[in-house]
Amino acid sequence: MVRFIKKYYPSILVAVIIMWLSLSDSGKVNPGRFLMFENSDKVGHFIAYSFFTCVLLFNSSNWKLSGEIKYLVVIAPFLLGITLEILQRLTTTTRQADFYDFLANITGISIAVLFVFVLRSVIRPREA
């Protein structure tokens, strides 16, 4: 377990931040004026889950482009997203479950996988 935490601590940290932001009082989380437009929370979901997915994918390859990426880890952000939407509905009074938030999560996850896939095919590691 300690070995898992040491390897995946960046991913765990990002997941904890996403959980905190998703379940905290919406009145206390102030994103700033530049994110005050209609459906701006969807942009936040997209950014958070694409970042989380990228961190997970690079964690799975030990932060090396030549390392084997385990694309199965993409299930973790998907499960986190659906779990948090359900928890928002069940445990919070200032947040609500929203299908479009979950759709933004899935879009962020998908774009991150494509980004990492393209990055790995474009940037070849140096030969030793």
Instruction: Classify residue 127: in a domain, yes or no.
Output: no
92 and 28 in contact (C-beta within 8 Å)?
A: no
pLDDT value, residue 86: 93
Residue type, position 4, single letter: F
**Cβ(95)–Cβ(23) below 8 Å:** yes
* pLDDT of the residue at 128: 47
Residue 102 domain flag: yes
Give the pLDDT confidence score for residue 56 in this predicted structure: 93
Count the domains in the chain.
1
Residue 51 lies in a domain: yes
The region, left, alpha or beta by phi > 0 then psi within -120 to 50, assigned to residue 30 is beta
Q: Which domain holds residue 45?
A: 2-24+41-122
98 and 106 Cβ atoms separated by less than 8 Å: no
Closest CA to 97 of 89, 107, 108: 89
Q: Is residue 33 part of a domain?
A: no
pLDDT reported for residue 121: 80
Q: Over the stretch 7-44, which tens digit does the pLDDT of each residue have?
A: 889 999 999 999 998 888 766 665 555 566 677 788 98
In this prediction the pTM is: 0.83
Residues of the chain with confidence (pLDDT) below 70:
26-37, 63, 65-67, 124-128
Q: How far apart are CA 1 and CA 38, in angstroms?
A: 42
CB neighbourhood size of 108 (10 A): 25
